[in-house]
Amino acid sequence: MVSTEEWTRIRRGLRFGQRFRGTVTAVPRPGAIGIFVDIGLPVGGFVDVLLLPTVVERWPGRGTEAEFEVWWVDQRQQVRLKPVDPQFLCDDFTHWQADRRPGWPEDVPVDQAWVDAAATYPRVLA
């Protein structure tokens, strides 16, 4: 765990969509929570189960090296990631993203982006 000041410094250097080469370090409960990824920062990376394929056998296993994008960063000392390789993404990711994150910022510093929390929930279409 890093200090609050160090975490603030790290966050200032991150941008939504920024890519990192990372190694999967743990898959604690396949199909339930997600995967942990080392992206070379003093804080860990994590891919949420919602961004991974429904079929657990398609998940990247421990030791898998792949490219990941910064998907979310908040006060928790963890970088939320999205796999770049479509084989590691949830089925129909484009539709999923349109429903849950319409108009999401790209290439914006995470500490300067204002994002409506409601954008993380499915939109109700009339």
Tell me the pLDDT of the chain (126 aa) as tens digits. Answer: 899 999 999 998 999 889 999 999 999 988 889 999 999 999 999 999 999 999 999 999 999 999 999 998 888 899 999 999 999 999 888 887 778 776 766 666 676 655 444 444 444 444
88-104 as b/e, with b when 16 or more CB fall inside 10 Å?
A: bbbeeeeeeeeeebeeb
Residue with tokens 């966050």: 11
Q: In this predicted structure, what is the pLDDT of residue 59?
A: 94
Instruction: Give the pLDDT of residue 108.
Output: 67
What domains can be seen in the chain, in order of their start residue?
Answer: 4-120 (2.40.50.140)
Looking at residue 20, what is its pLDDT?
96
- CA torsion angle for 15, 23, 34, 94 (degrees, to 10)? 50
